[in-house]
Amino acid sequence: MQTFVSLGYLKDTGTPKGRGVFASRPITEGEVVELCPALVLTQLRALPRALRNYVYCWSKLAKGPPSSALALGYGSMYNHDNPSNLRYEALPDTGCMRFIAVRHIEAHEELTINYEAEGGGLESDLGNGWFDGAGIPTPPNPLPERRRA
């Protein structure tokens, strides 16, 4: 397995979201931000509830049997945004997850994924349902809205 150094660092967001991952330098669109080993789990209900908030639906991402995955590194620490500035994908042959920038990201900008987007995409029509359901307010995005192609 190749080794890869994350392009982010962990710090408190200063919001109800708690900790988040932030860009350690400017990141270009399409650049791999992190390659994380993943622990694939088949018994999600056996995990403590607090840990269940940090797993991915591996079966959908890897197109395999029912399973979840805990991404190591910062992979399970990325906060939600819609649209997000990262997308993610499963690499079932290596048991890893790859996080990729979907636009230019400034140094010290929070790195985010979309919890609601199908298959690790950057945006969804579901808004911020994950946070709304958990009763956590989401701050407005300080970046200008992206133009859709």
2-57 pLDDT tens trace: 556 789 999 999 998 899 999 999 999 999 999 999 999 988 777 888 888 889 98
Q: Where are the domains of the chain?
A: 8-132
Is residue 146 scored above 90 in pLDDT? no
Is residue 98 scored above 60 in pLDDT? yes
**Quick one: how far is CA 98 from the chain centroid?**
10
Residues in Cβ contact with 15 at an 8 Å cutoff, skipping those fewer than 6 apart: 139
Residue type, 81: D
8-132 — its CATH code?
2.170.270.10
100-125 pLDDT tens trace: 999 999 999 999 999 888 777 766 66
Cut 0.85: pTM above it: no
Residues in Cβ contact with 94 at an 8 Å cutoff, skipping those fewer than 6 apart: 1
Is residue 138 scored above 80 in pLDDT? no
30-45 pLDDT tens trace: 999 999 999 999 887 7
Spatial contact of 26 and 84, defined as CB atoms under 8 Å apart: no
